[in-house]
Amino acid sequence: MLIVLLAAAFALQVDEEPAQSILTAPLYLEEEPPECRSLRLIRLAYDGGDERGRERPGMGRTREQAAVMARNLLGLIEAGADFAQLATAHSQAPSAQEGGVLGTYPPGVLVPAFDHFLFSAELGKVSQPIDLDGALHLLQRIDRWAACRQIVLKGRSDEVCALAQELFERLQAGADFEELARGYSDDPASAERGGAWRMFERGAKDALLKEAVFRADVGEVFGPLESPLGFHIGRRDAIEGFDPDLRENNWVRGRAVLIAHREGKAIRENRSLRVASRLAREIHAAAQHEIADLAELARRHTDDPGGKERRGDLGWIYRDNPNRVRSLDRLFLAKPGALLEPMGTEEGWIVLQRTR
């Protein structure tokens, strides 16, 4: 459901703003990445047509019945009921089993009604029902970050399992987490930091340690969790005072030269696939041997709409932005300044460089 909404928003952006890149949207060209925010949702489908006149199956209820249910749920939330539990029980969105969590988004990615609420709401705020796509939606803005300490015990033998349970019980009885992490954790780097592991950014499908830390309250110890590595005991810490160098980073900045061809999916150019491939490799070689930098080569050659004026700059790219072509994911594996080998994609041949 959500991906359909996002894809529709992306199509509108490209159609209405031809200067926007076809590789990622929106473009974030400021000096620093924009603020992201996290949300969860309850979706109450109803029978009948959506706002485009298409018939959509609901849950055997009318829009009026869905509106009554939405008002009842809002009343429960205002009285202190847990939004995540209500989402699991009542939402028709795929995210219901994750407590309605949709993840984290930069501005301009979600459909306008969701985006407006998310970037105007205070933390914890719940929206009024939003009627969209044949359903009423209740949104809640939720915390984006969770700081995590952990004790890692490698191995899955009975002895390791018993030690994990013993340490958990000692922590429950008031033992010092950082002291036990230094004494017992099998991860040397985090053990030296008293178990300080990561400041996680909320995702749509968090699992294992990351899922557990977002479910925990600040100060709560959880576990033991079993993984292929062994056993994990965690504690959620306040993000204030937590080492900022341990913050999960989901942004890169990149530059691209797109060489389109007549077999490409997005832009039709009157050049063959073979010619496009050769041109991409020549551009890569020129940048690699410093005959010209990629920005200047993009100004001359890129077929990405608006790309010549931007000298190929794609701005900041968010890892979980659904409005990006998947070939950009290679930038997250590269070091700043790295020039990547040309790659054939559905859009055309692409030469990429990570700039930050």
pLDDT at 270: 86
Q: What is the mean pLDDT of residues 54-75?
A: 84
Q: Identify the CATH assignment for 251-354 out of 3.30.710.10, 3.10.50.40, 3.40.50.850, 1.10.530.10.
A: 3.10.50.40
pLDDT beyond 80 at 16: no
The tens digit of pLDDT for each residue in 171-197 reads 999 999 999 999 999 999 999 999 999
Confidence bin at 253 (pLDDT 50/70/90): very high
Q: What is the pLDDT of residue 277?
A: 97
Domains 37-142 and 251-354 share a fold: yes
Specify the fold of 37-142. Answer: Chitinase A; domain 3 (3.10.50)
Q: CATH number of 145-246: 3.40.50.10490, 3.40.50.1100, 3.40.50.1820, 3.10.50.40?
A: 3.10.50.40
pLDDT at 264: 86
Q: What is the mean pLDDT of residues 19-43?
A: 95
- Report residue 19's pLDDT band, with 50, 70 and 90 as the boundaries: low
User: Chain-wide mean pLDDT for the chain?
Assistant: 92
Three-state SS letters, the chain: CHHHHHHHHHHHHHHHCCCCCCCECCCECCCCCCCCEEEEEEEEECCEECCCCCEECCCCCCHHHHHHHHHHHHHHHHCCCCHHHHHHHHCCCHHHHHCCEEEEECCCCCCHHHHHHHCCCCCCCECCCEEECCEEEEEEEECCEEEEEEEEEECCCHHHHHHHHHHHHHHHCCCCHHHHHHHHCCCHHHHHCCCEEEEEECCCCCCHHHHHHHHCCCCCEEEEEECCCEEEEEEEECCCCCCHHHECCCEEEEEEEEECCCCCCCCCCCCCHHHHHHHHHHHHHHHHCCCCCHHHHHHHHCCCCCHHHHCCEEEEEECCCCCECHHHHHHHHCCCCCECCCEECCCCEEEEEECC
- Specify the pTM: 0.85
What does the domain layout of the chain look like in residue ranges? 37-142, 145-246, 251-354
Checking if the pLDDT of 2 tops 60, the result is no
- Say yes or no to pLDDT of 340 above 90: yes
